[in-house]
Amino acid sequence: MEIRPVTPADLPQLLLLLQALAKHHGDQAEASLDSLRRDLFGPVPWAQGLIAQEGGVLQAYALLLPLMRAQLGQRGMDLHHLFVAESARGSGLGTAMIRAVRAHVLGQGCSYLTVSTTEENAEARDFYIHHGFSAAPPSPWRFAMDLSRG
């Protein structure tokens, strides 16, 4: 099994895994090859990705988004997605992906890594805690703005 940064050639298989993740959560993916290309390889890349591949087939992926704590001078990453194909679950690939993500973000000078999951996803919560994450409750003082409205 090889774990490495995603390349443009990986995008069709990455999109299939992203669609499988959405389906796993009862969602429908609206991402496309164009949106993945834009966000991972465009003039202003918005995300970074790692993939696990065996025999030319993608088995897992992780998408990372940059963060910072400006007042502390710290860089971080958010583990936006971590997904292992159903056929590869239970093989230790999730653990290998966490190790690869950790090495990747440390190599970029990051001092912290975050991840979120839904409240009802106890399996993911337990997985992340088992791999060194600690609970960090969301702040009730977080706000958002819908920029699609005039």
pLDDT in tens, the chain (150 residues): 899 999 999 999 999 999 999 998 888 999 999 999 999 999 999 999 999 999 889 999 999 999 999 999 999 999 999 999 988 888 899 999 999 999 999 999 999 999 988 778 888 888 898 898 888 776 666 666 665 665
Q: How far apart are CA 96 and CA 93, in angstroms?
A: 5
Q: How far apart are CA 16 and CA 24, in angstroms?
A: 12
CA 64 to chain CA mean position, Å: 5
Tokens of 44: 């202003």
Domain boundaries, the chain: 2-130
Looking at the domain that runs over 2-130, which CATH code has it been given? 3.40.630.30
For residue 60, the SS3 value is strand
| Predicted local confidence at residue 88, as pLDDT | 87
Task: Determine phi and psi for 114, rounding to 5 degrees.
Answer: -115, 160
| Predicted local confidence at residue 123, as pLDDT | 87
Can you give the length of the chain in residues? 150
| Predicted local confidence at residue 42, as pLDDT | 97
- Predicted TM-score (pTM) of the model is 0.90
Tell me which residue of 38, 98, 44, 97 sits closest to 66, measured CA to CA: 44
